Amino acid sequence: MQSQRPSNPSSRRCDVFIASESFIQTLTNELEQQTSNISDLQLQLSTGQALNRASDNPAAVTQVLALSSQAAQLTSWQNNVQTATSWLGIANSTANNILTTLQSARTLLLQAMNSGTQSSSTYQALGTQLQGVSNNLLSLSNTQYADRAIFAGTSASLQAYDASGNYLGNADVSTVVIGPGSGVGEAVNLSVPGSALFGPGASNAFATLSGAISALQSGAPPPSSISLALNELDAVISGAQQASAVLGQSSQMVTSAAANLATEIATIESNRANLENVNVAGVTTQLTLETTDYQAALWATSKAVPETLVNFL
């Protein structure tokens, strides 16, 4: 019969030591993790931010960055909308005044055509009134916004028309992008060229009125000259009405874009806030639980460590 080998006390002590060291390390790791959790929760409450570092929630941080990029693009379009609103506000208001002024000129020409009750001085008085209307029209044509003549197209000229009524601008129109779309996005015209409001080339409103004024100031205008001026002015008025309608459509586009952008930005900001902002009540409750667990674990550790040392000894 084979005799049993006596157990080795030093070997058992070694096993106890290894087990105790592993146990203590586990407890230490748990305490460190709980301490870290408590620190993170306290930081969230103090800053009001759920994402104080990228490691807090990498997936949420990625979403926030994407939302921030979208918000930046929308804000850029929103700034363009504000610019367009200012430009078009002035353009529409001025176009309405231009139409009113053109109608005043038409009324004077109609009075001049009533030759049965006109005298030389009456014609001249009408010519003087028409000159005042033409001067007012010239002033309106050179309306500016941000030191630019709004009816000069894309020209850098500070005036759309010179004192003689010659157009100094071009036929192009400044535009801005106000939202998503094909190519660079949905663009809107900021104004219309002067030729759209006052007529093209030599048949523009200023040339027409200049001829009528000269005829009236002569005191005996040929009826045909007044009739021709009236026809030419009617053509200018028709074109100005169409140009005014274009400006109105652009304003509607801008108003619609402003509303859409405001809604989209509000949605993005809400989504970003849900990711970034702290739920104070939830985090406070979690902090209380973590603190309670930490204190319990700390107490358990204080009891367990001496016992393991006794076992080792």
- In contact, 126 and 112? CB cutoff 8 Å: yes
Q: What is the mean pLDDT of residues 93-111?
A: 97
Percent of the chain at pLDDT > 70 equals 69
Q: Does residue 91 register a pLDDT over 50?
A: yes
pLDDT(123) > 60: yes
Q: At CA 31, angle to CA 27 and CA 35, rounded to 5?
A: 170
Q: Which residue has the higher pLDDT, 265 or 288?
A: 265
Q: Provide mean pLDDT across the span 166-170.
A: 95
In the predicted model, what is the mean pLDDT of residues 106-128? 89
Task: Look at residue 35 and tell me whether its pLDDT is greater than 50.
Answer: yes
What is the pLDDT of the chain when averaged over all its residues? 82
**Tens digit of each residue's pLDDT (9 = 90 or more) over 12-34:** 555 544 446 676 666 666 666 66
In this prediction, residue 11 carries a pLDDT of 54
pTM above 0.95, yes or no: no
Check residue 136 and give its pLDDT.
98
Q: What is the pLDDT of residue 281?
A: 52
